[in-house]
Structure 1
Amino acid sequence: MPSSDILTETLHVVTGIKIPELRKQKQAYESAKQSLLETVQNEADSRKRVELLLSGSDQLPGIKRLRSHPLFNINHLGFFVEQARFDPSISEQVLADYEKTIRNQLDTQTAKYEFTELYGELVKEWTSSNNANGSDSESGFVALGHEDMQQQRATWEEYVFHAKGTDTTAIKAYLDELFANNPSKEVVSAFEGLRNQIKEFQTSWDRTSHFDKDVISGCIQNILDSHIISDSKRSALSGFLENKIVLIEIADAMNMRMAARNSFTLDGPTVFEQRRQLNGQCRFYPDEDLLQMIFLQYIGAKWAIELKRALAEFTSADGVLKSPSQKLSKQALRRRQFFLGNDSALPGGSVEDHNDDTWRLEIFLDQLPNATDMIPGVVDKEDMPEYGYAEAHRPRNTHIAKELLHRIQAHLIVRRKVKMDTTVIRSDFKWFGPSLPHSSIFTVLRYFGVQEEWLDLFRKVLEASITFKDDAPGSVPRARKRGTPIGTRLATFFGEAVLFCVDFAVNQKTDGAQLWRLQDEFWLWGDTEVCSKGWDTLTEFSRVMGLEFDEEKTGSCQIPADGSAEQDAAIHNLPSGDVVWGLIKLDAASGEFVVNQEKVDVYVEELNLRLKASNSIFDFVLAWNLYGCRFFLKNCPDIDVSTTRQQLHEMLETLRRIQSRVFRSSNGSVEQHLKQMIRDRFGVSDIPDGFLYYPTVLGGLGLENPFIYLNLFVNSAAKSSEKFMQSFFEDEEKEYRSRKQLFEELGTSNESSGQTVGSDVSGADPEKNQSGRAAQGFPEPTGEWADLRDEPFMSFEEFIQHRELTSLHLGMEYSWLFSLYPEPEIAIVSERNLRLEYSAAARNYTGWNNYEKWVIQLYAKEMEARFGGLYAIKRGLLPAGLIKMLLQSRLTWKD
């Protein structure tokens, strides 16, 4: 897609050409229409009036033919009028209805011209304001909260330009304890293999040529997906992708630069730009030379991919990662095998199995790229996270974080019902990217086997000279002393190398617990004692590595089981503060995530700033769609099976409260506020709601309604969480009785082979010597199992003691609880006609989503009455395709 500045200029010029032509057509139509109505007005005979209107409408400019009425073909109306010449059964009322139909259709053409002209003026206002602001200024949004932005820049500079020396001897001792001197011989051996693998990676670096046009394309695509570059450089890189000759030339230059990398130097100071994010926080983005950016992107990707490969092989070696299943003692496992059978002792599919599989596949090492990420078109292109830590390159974080919320919610429901207390910890590191000490980075990399040749190159990148785009001319560049370059593959490589150590430390020091980490944001939940050990481990790591926790995002919550008393967090050395994410927090009393009204108050203030900074109607619509709708929805949980109607109603009520505060003068209505803005600026009143909310492809402004997204699920959400788990308990008791019955039927003697327990059966045919127990997969009560021979079947309490590890039924219930509801299908009346309208407008109809169907249905009657159909403006008189492209470009830039 062309850059938004090019689209803006093009749309501005095209609209400027089309508006005068539109006005000419409108004036010609209105003049001819008025003449026709005056002629008709002097005709007393109702049949002749209809005849005159019908014949005269065909002569009006801009009308090829009148639209058919839903109940009859308009082309047949002339036949009906002719019939009325002689047939007295055609009453005056029927003729009056025909006349009204024709007049209404003439008026709909007037409405289309009026709103097409309004639309053109809105586009003209929008493109004019964007041109005045400059393409890279984000339409005035950069200037928001100037004082606050200055304070954040001062904080950033305090980190970046002031080195923090860490005790490298202490870091090495910490790493020795984790790896080289680990009590597990498997860990020591596997880690030595990791070092050898990284050594071999460096040795083989120069054996092949690194760059060709496909690799350059992959690097460019990675950079474009990182959302860190300016709009103008995005346009330049997109241009590179379209020219194979340019790609080949760049590849040749990059291979030459790679061959001389030992003498690599940066191409002058790196210019940084400060941008305010959706949550009010600022990020500091580098604006580097494009070729240097591609070169470093490749090196960072290669190292990050290799690090992931090495760490994956290390942790997949037998005996390296501790498993949650170790919570089950050997004696407990032995008893379950004897009484339930070998296959049923740990059947798989348990709660812990689900968590372990998800953690390994979606969380652990997930921030590091795969080799396929270097291939164009393979990388994930979901929206970047909009709240919290947004410095990283991986765009899946918001989606994964929401999955974590669902998983935690399901875990809490399960554990409360099975009478287990639960602790949840959430935290992240304060200003992680800017604050990460270089000495910690280099100590860890050196420990993993990275050689000095590469450390020297990395040091040049990390200690780059920095200036700011907004600084006065002649400002002296300053060298970075701390932190990593935001949003780059090298930043991912540096950060993940350090943070892997805490992943592994938590696993080792808690005997199998898993740290659910998304970049530097992390979650830990389960038994209180385990979480307490995990928090101690995190605290030790942060102290050794020279990092600080973000107190505003650090907290713990202890959720007692049903009927249990609350515990004192201080006893277990847990962090104070609430467990928060986005606009929600975990409530200890209910064990549910609820809207964090304090965060909402902050959000309302930021939303007000964004909306007030809008320079045009379209900017207001974009600001509302991003900050008033998408931001709110992305920072609340998605609707899943465990979401109760009370939680859903709380989100809906919060939305109403937000709008009532932001739009006090308009009775809490965004559409009334927008209508008033249009009325004040363009003098147009009586604007139908559908004109505001309909998609731009149908001639609407595309204003989004967050209430609709949530109301899609109102009838799906459960009335309460009390019903959950009821069927599980019933199935669990049935399974216990069935297992007990099978055990007692099999007995503990070899009746099927005629042997008694302890008889010598050596030399006998193994197949003929199988007892009923062995055939069913139960150990024989001999040898090491002899002590259990006379034991009665395990009690129900023992059977259910380790449900999270041993129960397939509980695992199934758990996974069902955090599955998402499918959106209900919304049917559209007369979809065939609607499809024709869409096809004529966009020529790529693929179907409406359920939100669009809801909007179309909600306002269809109003739009058809006003415009004679669902399309609000005259097609062809405005550059609808350019408008759509520019809207998408602006959304991508600001999102």
Structure 2
Amino acid sequence: MASRVLRDVTNYKRSQLADRRTAFEERKTELLAQTQNSDNPILTLIEGLEKLGLKSTTAQTSTGGFSLSNASQMLTQSTFDASIPVALPSAWQADLERLLTIQSNKFAYTDLFSRLATEWVDKPNDANLLLDTPSKGDSTSESSDTDSFESVKVGRGEMYRQRQQWDSFVFTERQTDTAAIEAYLTNLFVEPQQKKKVRETPFEQLQKAFKEWTVKDSTCSTSDVELAIKAVLKADLLSGRKRDELIALASAGKGVLAEVADVINMEIAHLDDWSWKPSPIPAQMRKQLNGKYRVYMDPEIHQALLLQYVGIRFAVSTKANFISFLRSKAWPKSAHNSMSSKDHARFAFYVGERKARFQNSVLHTRREQFKDDFFLTQLPDKLEEGCRDYNNSDDSDNEDSDKKSPLEVKQTLLRLATTELMVQRKIYGSFTLCQTDFKWFGPSLPHSTIFAVLKFLGIEDSYIEFFKKYLSMSLIFPQDGPNSEPRTRLCGVPISQTLSDVFGETILACLDFAVSKATKGRCQLYRFHDDVWFWGQKADCEVAWEAIKKFTDVMGLALNDEKTGSIHVSDKGEKPSSILPMGAVRWGFLVLDPVKGRWVVDMANVDEHIAEMRLQFAQCRSVFSYVQAWNSYMGRFLGNNFGHPANCLGIDHLDMVFATFKYIQKKLFVDDNNSTGCEDVTSYLKSIIGERFSTKDVANAFLYWPVELGGLELRNPFIPLMTARKSFEELPDDILEAVWEEDEEQYDDYKSAFEKDSSKHRVDVPSNCDPEKFFSLEDFVRFREETSPYLRGAYEQLLESPRVEGLECTRFVKYALDTIPIEYRSSKHIKTSYSEMDVYWRWTVHLYAAEAMERFGGLGLGEKEMLPVELVNLLRSERVRWQG
């Protein structure tokens, strides 16, 4: 395994470091003794430092630094020049002796970093041991792996409960009425035709595109294999040993990849004869940060790559087909209060435009955002994107597509719901929002439903047969023990597989269309996989809800009551709907207050996660694993689930998140018994390092500095919030209020121009217009969502993040960055150019650069060539595995 190779390299580096450190400390002791007994201590120091190879120094941060050659010349001057104060040479001596201390610190922290890295390798968490357990029949397993597995206490009650539920879905065949599904889809997609048409309908074009799809029209290349490897790694399908083998394969060279491509091409050529080999497929349960357990298959590498190759081509084609259908006239799109052709003519007559400028309207912005961010968002637009990684938990922000990442889509959903609440409440005086999702959607998706929908859309029978074999795999859980029997999957789709994404998204695209058609385009489903949101006016939402229930019944699915709810905000005293589902509307750790119409933190949910965090942090056996868990939980997961700063949420929301973070950290470390004896993560990690490695007074910079500069890269969750706080200049309500003023000003301008225009009598006057009298302000703003460019501007402004502002670059910070040694200038976080740094790292430099300069003489904390950075990066590349 790569980690073992790097571990051996690290051990060699540590032995070399120990030799160099011992030799240096001996020479340092000798030099200080010689200095103390010397008639010219400064000259003795300079000569000794030069012999040690230390040719420059950095003085106190307030006075700058100077080189040894400068010190030598100034020392000579002081023997002749009486104007040089007697105390100054003493300061030079202290500064030169400080260089010895700095070098000692570098050696000490390089050694500490190395010991922390090897601790991470030697003491993996229980959850990682479980995932690296060899499956039944694995001839390459080692006894140490098996011993480690047997020593682990497996699971908790919640894991077993969720496993039983999963089993009840996956191993029970769920037959649906395929004739009813076909009738439903026919009624939905196929329009009754009054006469024979030569041109194909939008649905006929959709069906034709699916009929023509094939995976055999291209040859798998080494580039395709590289993309497949990247996608499988990103999907986190494989773990432990197989993941390491896949990483090694990615860098094995074109020759090896060409052989893998040959195997895939042979499989594609005989796809009719394909089957799972070997069988059964091992499966494993993994705990997610949100408390759920998910079951991952553990296929052989070549099978995983083959299925990714087929899946990505099917996914890209499916996405393109449905996008064309979305853009067609068959897919209705409208506002709650829409303009008719007569309304367009009337508006154009009075304002002097042929028609309202649709592309400068809120309605146009809605349509484009729905298409770009929420329509089949789980499917990639192009082969290079790989998987969209919906199942990637919120602790990861790794995404290299030019599209919004799953995390960004979730944040956009929160902003859209909040902005729409504000806009529609302002326009109509009320707003309704509903959310739901499907109960165990992936495991419960009936195979008969999948094949009925694919057949209706036109997929060839040969591919449907292949998909049937793909879904009917034999599974076994190694954790069930050596006597467990394989079982055949009869329902549902496997997680983290692109083919599974296509099946789920294809079926739910039919739901998207059903809701839009039922509501005449006034409600669109803002859907992220099977998490469904829709909003608007109450009557439209009621129609949408009935369409969802009908779809659910026909397709053999079930809605999740625990995640289903609605709110109705009204300034007119309207009562909530009796048709829409009861229950709170939640997003992450937020719940929507129906009275105030704003999001508040669900503190009961936060307290539950604090208890879970304590459990997860307690199972971290190494300092680095604790840092990784902290960064995942506090640095990303919690911040992501409170909602990133946004103009529509305002500064009050940001301050609420600040207060909650403070509360969480206090509860984590200062519990009822205050068992840690610490009050924050900084003091806690210092205490652990002091206890385990006998290192006292650990530098703060060491904790928060990036790994490539010799630090642990502990994330500070307060910094991202601070960078946005200063930029909140307007209250969200004020942004909207300005629109009403701007619309009135524009109305006055149009009215004045109309009254001065004599040509209006020479054009055709619409029947509902008076050429002598300009229409009323009420009529002018009646269709704001289609006519007001100011509303569109405010709408988009509310959706945006506040401007990120860092701290001003001081002369000292610029000096510190300028002195970064060449060997550290490849850092992707701390750079010599302040403007090229991410705002988070600018802030971090301001906080800890002074300490780094003082204790290490610069921003590099150790001996670069001795730091096992690659080992740490390899271990960090494995996602955090949570104890179950």
After TM superposition, the score normalised by the length of structure 2 is 0.88
The code of the aligned residue for 1:834 comes to L
Other structure's SS at 1:724 match: helix
Match of 1:616?
Answer: 622
Deviation at 1:462, TM superposition (A): 1.4
Other structure's SS at 1:173 match: helix
Change beyond 3 A, Cα 1:540–1:288: same
Match of 1:425?
Answer: 434
For residues 225 and 14 of structure 2, the distance between their equivalents in structure 1, rounded to whole angstroms, comes to: 43
Change beyond 3 A, Cα 1:722–1:259: closer
The code of the aligned residue for 1:23 comes to A
For residues 85 and 91 of structure 1, the distance between their equivalents in structure 2, rounded to whole angstroms, comes to: 11
Match of 2:492?
Answer: 483
Deviation at 1:78, TM superposition (A): 2.4
Match of 2:19?
Answer: 24
The code of the aligned residue for 2:492 comes to G
Task: Give 1:386's match in structure 2, choosing from 394, 397, 404.
Answer: 394
- In structure 1, runs of 5+ residues without a counterpart are 751-770, 775-779
Deviation at 1:220, TM superposition (A): 3.3
Greater CA drift, 85-94 or 152-161: 85-94
The code of the aligned residue for 1:103 comes to E
Q: Please identify the structure whose Cα radius of gyration is greater.
A: 1
Does the Cα contact within 8 Å between 1:135 and 1:231 map onto a contact in 2? no
1:51 maps onto 2:43 in alignment: yes
For residues 433 and 713 of structure 1, the distance between their equivalents in structure 2, rounded to whole angstroms, comes to: 38
Match of 1:361?
Answer: 372
1:35 maps onto 2:27 in alignment: no
Provide Cα deviations, 1:576-597, integer angstroms capped at 9, x if missing partner. Answer: 2222122222222333333222
Other structure's SS at 1:470 match: helix
Deviation at 1:658, TM superposition (A): 0.8
Match of 1:400?
Answer: 409
The code of the aligned residue for 1:568 comes to K
Does the Cα contact within 8 Å between 1:194 and 1:448 map onto a contact in 2? yes
Match of 1:579?
Answer: 585
Change beyond 3 A, Cα 1:296–1:50: closer
The code of the aligned residue for 1:190 comes to P
Identity %: 31
Deviation at 1:446, TM superposition (A): 2.1
Provide Cα deviations, 1:621-663, integer angstroms capped at 9, x if missing partner. Answer: 1111111211112223222223322211111111111111111
Other structure's SS at 1:876 match: helix
Other structure's SS at 2:620 match: coil
Does the Cα contact within 8 Å between 1:231 and 1:893 map onto a contact in 2? no
The code of the aligned residue for 2:554 comes to V
Provide Cα deviations, 1:358-410, integer angstroms capped at 9, x if missing partner. Answer: 1123322333333x31x4x777799934289x9xx998222112112122222
Does the Cα contact within 8 Å between 1:277 and 1:386 map onto a contact in 2? no
Does the Cα contact within 8 Å between 2:526 and 2:532 map onto a contact in 1? yes
Task: Give 2:162's match in structure 1, choosing from 152, 155, 161.
Answer: 152
Task: Give 1:857's match in structure 2, choosing from 846, 860, 867.
Answer: 846
Does the Cα contact within 8 Å between 2:123 and 2:622 map onto a contact in 1? yes
1:663 maps onto 2:669 in alignment: yes
Task: Give 2:206's match in structure 1, choosing from 177, 190, 194.
Answer: 194
For residues 742 and 189 of structure 1, the distance between their equivalents in structure 2, rounded to whole angstroms, comes to: 45
- Please show how residues 295-694 of structure 1 align to structure 2 within 5 Å: 295-324=306-335, 327-370=338-381, 372-373=382-383, 375=384, 384-386=392-394, 396-418=405-427, 420-512=429-521, 513-561=523-571, 564-565=572-573, 567-571=574-578, 573-664=579-670, 665-694=676-705
Change beyond 3 A, Cα 1:891–1:170: closer
The code of the aligned residue for 1:255 comes to N
After TM superposition, the score normalised by the length of structure 1 is 0.87
Match of 2:267?
Answer: 257
Match of 1:73?
Answer: 66
Deviation at 1:673, TM superposition (A): 0.6
For residues 429 and 453 of structure 1, the distance between their equivalents in structure 2, rounded to whole angstroms, comes to: 30
Match of 1:811?
Answer: 792
Deviation at 1:468, TM superposition (A): 1.2
Other structure's SS at 2:735 match: coil
Change beyond 3 A, Cα 1:698–1:302: closer
Greater CA drift, 320-329 or 867-876: 320-329
Does the Cα contact within 8 Å between 1:607 and 1:628 map onto a contact in 2? no
Provide Cα deviations, 1:513-540, integer angstroms capped at 9, x if missing partner. Answer: 2111111112111112111211121122
The code of the aligned residue for 1:198 comes to F
Does the Cα contact within 8 Å between 1:194 and 1:314 map onto a contact in 2? yes
Other structure's SS at 1:150 match: helix
Other structure's SS at 1:85 match: helix
The number of residue pairs the alignment matches comes to: 842
The code of the aligned residue for 1:233 comes to K
Provide Cα deviations, 1:228-266, integer angstroms capped at 9, x if missing partner. Answer: 122433343444444333333333333333333333322
- In structure 2, runs of 5+ residues without a counterpart are 134-147, 671-675
Change beyond 3 A, Cα 1:320–1:280: closer
1:11 maps onto 2:23 in alignment: no
Deviation at 1:324, TM superposition (A): 3.5
For residues 56 and 746 of structure 2, the distance between their equivalents in structure 1, rounded to whole angstroms, comes to: 73
Other structure's SS at 2:480 match: coil
Does the Cα contact within 8 Å between 1:142 and 1:275 map onto a contact in 2? no
Does the Cα contact within 8 Å between 2:308 and 2:497 map onto a contact in 1? yes
Match of 1:89?
Answer: 83
Change beyond 3 A, Cα 1:652–1:356: same
The code of the aligned residue for 2:122 comes to S
Deviation at 1:188, TM superposition (A): 9.4
Does the Cα contact within 8 Å between 2:229 and 2:246 map onto a contact in 1? yes
Deviation at 1:620, TM superposition (A): 0.8
Change beyond 3 A, Cα 1:524–1:838: farther
Other structure's SS at 1:723 match: helix
Does the Cα contact within 8 Å between 2:281 and 2:476 map onto a contact in 1? yes
The code of the aligned residue for 1:643 comes to L
Task: Give 2:242's match in structure 1, choosing from 208, 233, 238.
Answer: 233
Match of 1:834?
Answer: 817
For residues 285 and 21 of structure 2, the distance between their equivalents in structure 1, rounded to whole angstroms, comes to: 47
Greater CA drift, 741-750 or 862-871: 741-750
1:886 maps onto 2:874 in alignment: yes
Match of 1:877?
Answer: 866
Match of 2:138?
Answer: none
Does the Cα contact within 8 Å between 2:35 and 2:41 map onto a contact in 1? yes
For residues 134 and 444 of structure 1, the distance between their equivalents in structure 2, rounded to whole angstroms, comes to: 41
Change beyond 3 A, Cα 1:199–1:868: closer
Match of 2:143?
Answer: none
Does the Cα contact within 8 Å between 2:264 and 2:306 map onto a contact in 1? yes
Other structure's SS at 2:687 match: helix
Greater CA drift, 497-506 or 824-833: 824-833
Provide Cα deviations, 1:177-221, integer angstroms capped at 9, x if missing partner. Answer: 21235699999933233333333436xx66x45434343443333
For residues 576 and 521 of structure 1, the distance between their equivalents in structure 2, rounded to whole angstroms, comes to: 17
- Please show how residues 195-210 of structure 1 align to structure 2 within 5 Å: 195-201=207-213, 208=217, 210=219
Change beyond 3 A, Cα 1:863–1:243: closer
Change beyond 3 A, Cα 1:15–1:559: same
Change beyond 3 A, Cα 1:256–1:280: same
Deviation at 1:819, TM superposition (A): 1.6
Provide Cα deviations, 1:15-59, integer angstroms capped at 9, x if missing partner. Answer: 22232332333333223323333344456x7xx333333334334
Match of 2:777?
Answer: 796
Deviation at 1:674, TM superposition (A): 0.5
Does the Cα contact within 8 Å between 2:333 and 2:516 map onto a contact in 1? yes
Match of 1:762?
Answer: none
Change beyond 3 A, Cα 1:23–1:238: closer
Change beyond 3 A, Cα 1:457–1:876: closer
For residues 621 and 744 of structure 2, the distance between their equivalents in structure 1, rounded to whole angstroms, comes to: 66
Does the Cα contact within 8 Å between 2:726 and 2:805 map onto a contact in 1? no
Does the Cα contact within 8 Å between 1:645 and 1:719 map onto a contact in 2? no
